[in-house]
């Protein structure tokens, strides 16, 4: 969008009275408030915003999330491929006001699996079923972990993290998965 068209649109909004502008904002905020499911939110955002606007707003929220979790500017830049200036802008918003960000971030649910990880996981599950005679130790460990109590899971985590020597097969499989992950994206 050219700067001329952008400024013309702003001028048109300024022609509205303060009450009309507040009424517009009230409708927008009320619309967000009545949304109850992620599916409804996705449909609404899809109809309300352009693809570029969704990407920018999503990135702003993620920047705020990462900064509030203690990530450095450099780590955020690297992870989100964004500019230092954008991160600084979000950091200033968090420092100056930020109540809205912090309130939302506290209540954001954890996302279980990203679609890419789900695809890799599904493919790996198919491989394990096809070659279960060879991969039975991994299948057995997964079942043990799934059915273990929280305390037992913690102990298993410690044991697994202390394993320093990996088998050649495990290294090969890990490198194949790593290669596959970057060739499919």
Same domain, yes or no: 72 and 119 = no
pLDDT, the chain, mean: 76
The distance from CA 90 to its chain's CA centroid, rounded to whole angstroms, is 17
What's the chain's Rg over C-alpha atoms?
Answer: 24
The contacts of residue 35 (CB under 8 Å, 6+ apart) are: 41, 44
> How many CB atoms are located within 10 Å of the residue 85 CB?
8
Least confidently predicted of 90-94, 112-116, 125-129, 175-179? 112-116
Q: Are residues 40 and 67 in the same domain?
A: yes
Of the candidates 71, 73, 67, the one whose C-alpha atom is nearest the C-alpha of residue 105 is 67
Q: Which domain holds residue 19?
A: 3-107
142 and 99 in a single domain? The answer is no
Reference 79, options 91, 95, 63; nearest CA is 63
Last residue of a domain, one of 79, 107, 135: 107
Checking if the pLDDT of 6 tops 80, the result is no
- CATH number of the domain at 30, please: 1.10.1270.10
User: 78 with 97: CB under 8 angstroms?
Assistant: no
Number of domains in the chain: 2
Least-confidence region, from 38-47, 69-78, 131-140: 131-140
- The number of beta carbons lying within 10 Å of the beta carbon of residue 60 is 18
Range 134-139 average pLDDT: 65
**Residue 41's CB: how many other CB atoms inside 10 A?**
12
């Amino acid at each position: 969008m050219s700067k001329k068209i952008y400024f013309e649109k702003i001028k048109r909004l300024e022609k509205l009275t303060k009450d009309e502008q507040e009424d517009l904002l009230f409708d927008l905020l009320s619309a967000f408030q009545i949304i109850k499911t992620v599916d409804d939110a996705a449909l609404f955002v899809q109809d309300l915003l352009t693809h570029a606007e969704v990407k920018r707003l999503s990135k702003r929220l993620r920047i705020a999330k990462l900064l509030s979790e203690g990530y450095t500017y450099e780590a955020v830049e690297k992870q989100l491929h964004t500019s230092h200036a954008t991160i600084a802008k979000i950091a200033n918003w968090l420092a100056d006001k930020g109540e809205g960000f912090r309130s939302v971030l506290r209540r954001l649910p954890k996302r279980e699996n990203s679609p890419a990880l789900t695809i890799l996981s599904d493919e790996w599950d198919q491989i394990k079923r096809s070659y279960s005679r060879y991969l039975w130790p991994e299948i057995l460990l997964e079942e043990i972990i799934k059915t273990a109590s929280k305390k037992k899971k913690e102990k298993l985590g410690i044991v697994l993290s202390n394993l320093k020597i990996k088998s050649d097969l495990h290294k090969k499989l890990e490198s194949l998965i790593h290669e596959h992950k970057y060739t499919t994206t």
